[in-house]
Structure 1
Amino acid sequence: MAMIRKATTTDIPEIMKVVKRVVKAMNEQGSYQWDHTYPLAADYQKDVNRNELYLYEVAEGIRAVCTISSRGHKEYNEIAWTAHDQSFTLKRLAVDPTARGKGIANQFFAYAEQLAKQTGVPLLNTDTFLENQYAQQLFKRNAFQFVQTRKETVEAPELVYFEKVIEPKE
């Protein structure tokens, strides 16, 4: 039976196998947002330590991973979000290429929205490289709205920021 659950430290070796396959697929599609330097097992370990790492598991093993964090990236306070209140940031979403096309990423977005409603968090946000058209389509398909693009430095890649305002539970 498939399920989303919180990840533990013992899950990290299998998570990294999934991430390695995702990096290869991304690079083959022309997106170099991830490589051998990011994301690392240490990034996922921090997420586990913060109780913010979730995985999608089937009987055969882990098929996807996603961080649902109460903290954004360092530049998030400079982004023109609808509000700068509390939000959940979706980071490091990785779906095993062998499991794509089954709606797993959509399930993570729905799960994050459910968590936000349960805890009164009014906003989901995320970002990706401008070149990562696959991620941008995924965000739009899950009713995220474009906020802005931004470059940290001249050499840095252009990032695209998206948000979804969460309606409070009734």
Structure 2
Amino acid sequence: MIRKATEDDVLKIMEIIKSTVKEMKGYNNTQWDENYPRDIDFFNDIKNEDLYVEEIEKSIKGFVCINYVEPNEYKDLNWSSNEKCMVIHRMAVDCNFRNKGVGKKLISFAEELAKENNIKYIKTDTYSINTKMNSLFLKCGLKLIGEMSFLGKEKPFYCYDKILY
């Protein structure tokens, strides 16, 4: 069941972050580290009512932040549409629950949330060497539209979008 996150969820979210960062380091992916994302990022997401968790049997298996905030770096890209969109940020699945459909469910939820808000279009991005997230976006029908420099990282971020209807 996907629901809005509460402050009580942040401890588990940070456990997922810690294990995800460790895994990322294993294949030299520096998209996330000890400095980002931090608990304050998730508390702010909760305050803004933008953070959602996938909870199965009273345990959080994944999370996603969904809002209308586009990074400034998005402005120079050739997106599929200029319409108002929803943007997927800060998404992860508990390492113990990968390949069980949780990521796909979170992206499907983002699409449905957009439709419920009369938004026909979603955008997102991820580090170019984040092979797992890049693969998930493509499996979910998002289209690679370009790349950008972001957060001072060495390699580019890949940007994706999807017109929903």
Whether 1:25 aligns to 2:16 is: no
2: distance between equivalents of 1:89 and 1:154?
21
Whether 1:79 aligns to 2:77 is: yes
1: distance between equivalents of 2:16 and 2:156?
26
The letter for the 2-side match of 1:141 is: K
The letter for the 1-side match of 2:69 is: R
Secondary structure of 2:82's partner?
Answer: coil
Secondary structure of 1:38's partner?
Answer: coil
Please tell me whether the aligned partners of residues 66 and 86 of structure 2 are also in contact (alpha carbons under 8 angstroms): yes
Match of 2:51 in 1: 53
Secondary structure of 1:34's partner?
Answer: coil
Match of 1:89 in 2: 87
Secondary structure of 2:14's partner?
Answer: helix
Match of 1:147 among 145, 148, 159: 145
Match of 2:122 in 1: 124
2: distance between equivalents of 1:81 and 1:100?
30
- What pairs with 1:4-19 in structure 2 (closer than 5 Å)? 4-19=2-17
Q: 1:155 deviation in Å?
A: 6.1
Gaps of 5+ in 2: none
Match of 2:64 in 1: 66
Identity among equivalent positions (%) equals 28
2: distance between equivalents of 1:137 and 1:14?
25
2: distance between equivalents of 1:75 and 1:30?
24
Q: 1:165 deviation in Å?
A: 0.5
Deviations 1:49-80 (A, max 9, x none): 11110001122511111101111222222222
Match of 2:109 in 1: 111
> Could you tell me the TM-score, scaled by structure 2's length?
0.93
Deviations 1:56-107 (A, max 9, x none): 1122511111101111222222222122321111111110100111010000
Whether 1:160 aligns to 2:141 is: no
Gaps of 5+ in 1: none
Question: Which is further off, 153-162 or 96-105?
Answer: 153-162
Secondary structure of 1:148's partner?
Answer: strand
Please tell me whether the aligned partners of residues 57 and 64 of structure 1 are also in contact (alpha carbons under 8 angstroms): yes
Please tell me whether the aligned partners of residues 128 and 136 of structure 1 are also in contact (alpha carbons under 8 angstroms): yes
For this pair of structures, how many residues does the alignment match?
165
